[in-house]
Amino acid sequence: MRGRIVAIAPDGTYGQLSADDGPRYSYWTKEVRNGPAQVGQAVEFQLWEGQPIDIVLVQAPPPPRAAQRPASPRPMASGAAQHAANAPSSYGGGPAMNYALAGSGFPPTQYWIKLFTSPSGRLSRREFWLYGVLAIIVASVVLGWIPIIGQILSLFFIWAGICIAFKRFHDLGLPGWWSLLYLVPTLAAAAVIAVGFISTSFLEMAWLLAKILGGISLLIGLAQLFFVYIRVGQEGPNQYGPDPLAS
């Protein structure tokens, strides 16, 4: 199949291509076989279970008489300069703020601050799970055992989780506060239990209601997982910001 690269993620590890017959597909950069891709570049690829594989960049033909012109000497770049020269053009202006130019291929401090402190904007699936959920889990395990500091950090981790959840809902064009709906039956269950302890005659009924409310909270959480957190976001910009895959 033939197509064209239409978007590259800020970290350069994945992107989107548009087939000549119309459909768009997300692809992993590791599937590109002959060099770094750039937005607008023509490609040939195969499909396996709806996923582009064995992507080959279609090289543009040389300009006329190019073979007769002597090549000018060009020093070989190294380190960060070589990485910057090969970086796709879509890095510029993206949310990761050109962190590829640093040669590390890792987001800068500004990226992490915005990721975990601001609920505004959008977040792709990969950033949500790898840079968001996994990072919070690892930090909680490593730092959570520290007395006092661990308890203070746990409050920050709660806020960080709310921020990345809001942005994931935004990526599908949904209000971010919908990510907190599961808390409604959870808080209601806690209130019912408190009333049960105050009025012991109501305690048995309170436990039953709390279990029902807990089940409702679990169902809401599962629905959010399947319909939001593991789904592809809206293509192109929406009311919450630009497409994170096209930034």
Closest of 78, 54, 68 to residue 2, by C-alpha: 54
CATH number of 1-60+84-104: 2.40.50.140
Q: Which helix (H) or strand (E) holds 234?
A: none
Is the pTM value of this prediction over 0.85? no
Q: Dump pLDDT digits (tens) for 85-139.
A: 343 333 333 444 334 333 345 667 888 899 999 999 999 999 999 999 999 999 9
Total Cβ atoms within 10 A of residue 233: 23
Low pLDDT (below 50) residues in the chain: 61-63, 66-104
